[in-house]
């Protein structure tokens, strides 16, 4: 029973805040623990900022999911930006092409249960993360 | 193999006409399996209720156990499994109560004779099997709930955070730490630091028999998280074997203070707190 | 864009972040604080984040930036009131906020600042030398 998702266009700083608030609301609704809520919202904040800064804007879609045993949340971050050429580098702690700390991708991956990335140079980036209730 | 409406009605009659004989045979059979752990009278009561539920389901035209008219029967079966599960009966001992119903029915079918007896028996048997499977499923579910409850109670019981001194709290860890428990301890300790405004915490692991990489990582993360919040953690009660494991696993405790005993740790903390107070004056 | 107010209390500046900050708001706060430190001559900054339900790498970086900038301007920064869930998440994220002093609440933060300042002046009396670097006190 994977429900209908809610979609937010990410084109500015305010939109990143709106993504955080939406993810928080849905996380509370599926009854994630406080620590898991915090981890998921933090990961969403990192990835939404990446969508904005590196992808040149895009969309974020938040969906309630259920794998039959427990509920969870799935978030898809999609952009039509330049894509990522070297994924291994992108996942290295401290590596950045911008002026961040280089913890966005690698850090966000540690904060969620499932992390999928589809990207190619010139073809944009799509990242799907899932967090399950314990 | 679902029952036809006609068969269901016929079986309902059969169960009604032979009710006493059925319950008697059924009870005898189950009593032998359970070897007196439930009284004869108790079993008899349960079985006559179940027989009634079977009879009513079939009379209501139930063709499979999932039908609406079998709702009462399903409720009875769940009740039976949850009581048995809580009383400590095994899953076999629970399911056999339902399977034995078939033997009882076979008895009354034989007496009523008729060439269709075998065919009837096989058809009804499928229905009873379904009921027995349902019983086992409920049994397993109840046991899982029990286990989850107990695990939670254990967590509650085993992770007290105590105030040792003004501004000093301690968690005496006892027993094996798994990842889930370590996480609970971590969260509770950090919350206590906030609630009491204590800048010092002592994690005492005297009662922990072994430490693996994961648990050590959890303790380390707690210490780092506490530091981020503005509190200092001291680890005390590291036993010789654990010290050896930690070194062998290559876990870096870095600049985290470790003390041999809780008393040493408290003395160390009070010394530091005193130093801070002197500076303030 | 909302702005975070900066309050002056004695020799300290107090900032309590009560809103979910946009990145621009965080950068603005960094600028405002630098201006106010210079304008007031304060020697301590307390940033209360007890109302923040997350701290991501951007906010973390901004806090670290504020701490470094104020240190250059001779003011010590203490971040107070971090929630446990936030601290656990930061550890997992790999953000250790180096160079940032922390305390459990505003009161302990003020004590920490007073202690540091006291240590500074005490050092001055003993050495009679303005240029002496004070060794960092390691108490929280």
Domain definitions of chain B by residue range? 5-155, 162-280
**pLDDT at site C131:** 46
Residues C57, A103: C-beta atoms closer than 8 Å? yes
The CATH class for the domain spanning B162-280 reads alpha beta
**B235 in Cβ contact with B205 (< 8 Å):** yes
Tell whether A35 lies on the interface with C, counting CB pairs under 8 A: yes
- Please give the residue of chain C at the shortest CA–CA distance from A43: C56
DSSP letters, A58-71, are: EEEEEEEEE-SS-E
User: Within a 10 A sphere around the Cβ of B195, how many other Cβ atoms?
Assistant: 12
Alpha helices in C50-140 (DSSP H): 57-72, 84-93, 106-127
Contact C57 A100 (CB under 8 A): yes
Interface probe for A, chosen from C26, C49, C50, C56 (most Cβ of A below 10 Å), is C56
With CB atoms and an 8 Å threshold, state whether A16 touches C88. no
State percent of chain B over pLDDT 90. Answer: 17
Residue C126 reports pLDDT greater than 70:
no
Could you tell me how many CB contacts below 8 A there are between chain A and chain C?
71
Which residue ranges make up each domain of chain C? 6-127
- B247: pLDDT strictly greater than 60: yes
Instruction: Respond yes or no on whether ipTM tops 0.85.
Output: yes
CB-count burial class (<10 Å; 0-12, 13-18, 19+) for A81 = buried
3-class DSSP assignment, residue C47: strand
pLDDT tens-place string over residues B148-177 = 888 777 766 667 888 899 999 999 888 777
Domains and their CATH numbers in chain A: 6-132 (3.30.565.10)
Q: What is the mean pLDDT of residues B135-154?
A: 84
Among the ranges given (A103-117, B100-114, B213-227, B230-244), the one the predictor scored with the smallest mean pLDDT: B100-114
Question: Hey, are the CB atoms on C85 and A111 less than 8 Å from each other?
Answer: no
Contact at CB, B224 and C96, closer than 8 angstroms: yes
* B120, pLDDT greater than 80: no
Q: What's the rounded Cα separation, in Å, for the pair C78 and C111?
A: 10
The kind and range of the H/E element at B91 are helix B91-112
Q: Quick one: closest CA in B to C82, which residue?
A: B229
Residue B195 has pLDDT above 50, yes or no: yes
Contact yes or no for C53 and A24 at CB 8 A: yes
Q: Which of C83, C137, C140 sits opposite B231 (nearest CB)?
A: C140
Pairing of strands B200-207, B168-174: parallel
Helices (H) and strands (E) in chain B, counts: 10, 5
Cα–Cα nearest to C103, from C76, C71, C81: C81
* B5-155: CATH number: 1.10.490.10
Q: Which CATH class is domain C6-127?
A: alpha beta
For residues B196-222, one letter each, b for 16 or more C-beta atoms within 10 angstroms of the residue's C-beta and e for the rest, the string is bebbbbbbbbeebeebeeebbebbbbb
Tokens of A51: 């969508």
């Amino acid at each position: 029973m994977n429900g209908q998702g809610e979609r937010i266009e990410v084109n500015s700083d305010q939109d990143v805040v709106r993504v955080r608030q939406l993810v928080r609301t849905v996380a509370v609704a599926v009854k994630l623990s406080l620590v898991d809520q915090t981890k998921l919202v933090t990961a969403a904040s990192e990835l939404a900022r990446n969508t904005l800064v590196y992808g040149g804007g895009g969309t974020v879609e938040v969906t309630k999911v259920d794998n039959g045993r427990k509920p969870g949340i799935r978030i898809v971050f999609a952009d039509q930006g330049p894509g990522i050429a070297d994924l291994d580098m992108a996942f290295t702690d401290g590596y950045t092409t911008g002026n961040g700390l280089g913890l966005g991708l690698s850090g966000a991956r540690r904060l969620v249960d499932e992390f999928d990335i589809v990207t190619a140079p010139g073809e944009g980036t799509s990242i799907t993360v899932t967090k399950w209730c314990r | 193999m679902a029952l036809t409406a006609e068969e269901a009605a016929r079986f309902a009659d059969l169960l009604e006409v032979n009710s006493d004989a059925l319950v008697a045979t059924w009870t005898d059979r189950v009593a032998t399996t359970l070897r007196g752990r439930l009284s004869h009278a108790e079993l008899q009561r349960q079985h006559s209720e179940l027989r009634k539920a079977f009879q009513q389901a079939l009379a209501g035209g139930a063709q499979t156990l999932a039908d609406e008219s079998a709702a009462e029967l399903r409720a009875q079966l769940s009740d039976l499994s949850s009581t048995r599960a809580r009383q400590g009966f095994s899953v076999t001992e629970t399911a056999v109560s339902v399977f034995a119903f078939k033997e009882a029915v076979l008895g009354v079918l034989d007496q009523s004779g008729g060439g269709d007896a075998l065919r009837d028996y096989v058809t009804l048997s499928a229905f009873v099997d379904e009921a027995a499977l349902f019983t086992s499923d409920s049994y397993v579910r109840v046991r899982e709930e029990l286990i989850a409850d107990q695990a939670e109670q254990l967590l509650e019981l085993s992770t007290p955070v105590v105030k040792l001194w003004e501004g000093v709290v301690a968690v005496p860890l006892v027993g094996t730490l798994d990842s889930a428990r370590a996480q609970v301890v971590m969260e509770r300790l950090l919350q206590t630091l906030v609630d009491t405004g204590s800048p010092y915490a002592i994690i005492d692991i005297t009662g922990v028999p072994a430490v693996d990489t994961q648990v050590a990582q959890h303790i380390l993360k707690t210490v780092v998280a506490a530091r981020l919040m503005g509190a200092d953690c001291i680890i005390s009660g590291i036993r010789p074997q654990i010290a050896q494991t930690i070194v062998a696993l290559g876990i870096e405790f870095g600049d985290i203070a470790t003390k041999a005993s809780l008393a040493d740790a408290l003395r160390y903390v009070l010394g530091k707190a005193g130093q801070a107070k002197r500076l303030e004056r | 864009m909302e702005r975070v107010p900066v309050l002056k209390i004695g020799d300290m500046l107090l900032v309590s972040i009560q809103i979910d900050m946009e990145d621009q708001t965080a950068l603005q706060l960094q600028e405002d604080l630098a201006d106010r430190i210079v304008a007031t001559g304060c020697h301590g900054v307390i940033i209360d984040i007890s109302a923040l339900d997350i701290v991501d790498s951007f906010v973390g970086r901004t806090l670290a930036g504020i701490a470094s900038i104020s240190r250059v301007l001779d003011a010590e920064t203490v971040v107070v009131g971090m929630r446990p869930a936030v601290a656990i998440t930061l550890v997992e994220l790999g953000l250790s906020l180096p160079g940032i002093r922390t305390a459990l609440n505003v009161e302990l933060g003020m004590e920490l600042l007073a202690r540091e300042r006291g240590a500074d002046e005490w050092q001055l009396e003993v050495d009679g030398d303005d240029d002496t670097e004070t060794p960092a006190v390691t108490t929280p």
